[in-house]
Amino acid sequence: MTVDVMMRYLFASPLSWSYDLISLYLATLLFFAAVSDTFRRGSHVKIELFDKFGSTRVRAAFETIGYSSALIMFCIMFEVSLDDAVKSLLGGDVISGAIAWPTWIPYMIASVGFGLLATRILFTIAERIQTIVTGHAGARQIENLE
């Protein structure tokens, strides 16, 4: 990006391919590479409406319900993005421009990202169910439940 900006403003000769590369591939990759770990760290947007009410088991039960609905949504998003990637790959779809960038790659990046996030949510649901059964939160859960 820095080279493109310098070429654009200093020499009035931008790199014709850089915008497509950055917006199609790099931005998509940066977002989806971080989304699962962001969820693991608890750094995602979270509504903490019921966090102060009830016992550890009650809070874990509410989180299990919320995470289960999120799991369904992200599994659907995984399936749709994977289907789009396969259709784009088989159809030979490309972006018209200076370079014919294939469109299946960003779809596949999104699909992998949604799949990793769904897997992470599934593990989190299992941890919350364990908390409901035992009444004790694991070390990582204590940060999120308190």
Of the candidates 13, 29, 33, 12, the one whose C-alpha atom is nearest the C-alpha of residue 21 is 29
38-92 tens-digit pLDDT: 998 888 777 777 677 778 888 899 899 999 999 999 999 999 999 999 999 999 9
Instruction: Specify the pLDDT at position 48.
Output: 72
pLDDT score of 132: 93
Tokens of 110: 């999104």
Global pTM value: 0.80
User: In the structure, what pLDDT confidence band is assigned to residue 4 with cuts at 50, 70 and 90?
Assistant: confident
Number of H helices, E strands in the chain: 6, 2
pLDDT of residue 35: 92
Q: CB–CB of 35/117 below 8 Å? A: yes
State whether the Cα torsion 31-32-37-38 is positive or negative.
Answer: positive
Instruction: Specify the amino acid at residue 82.
Output: L
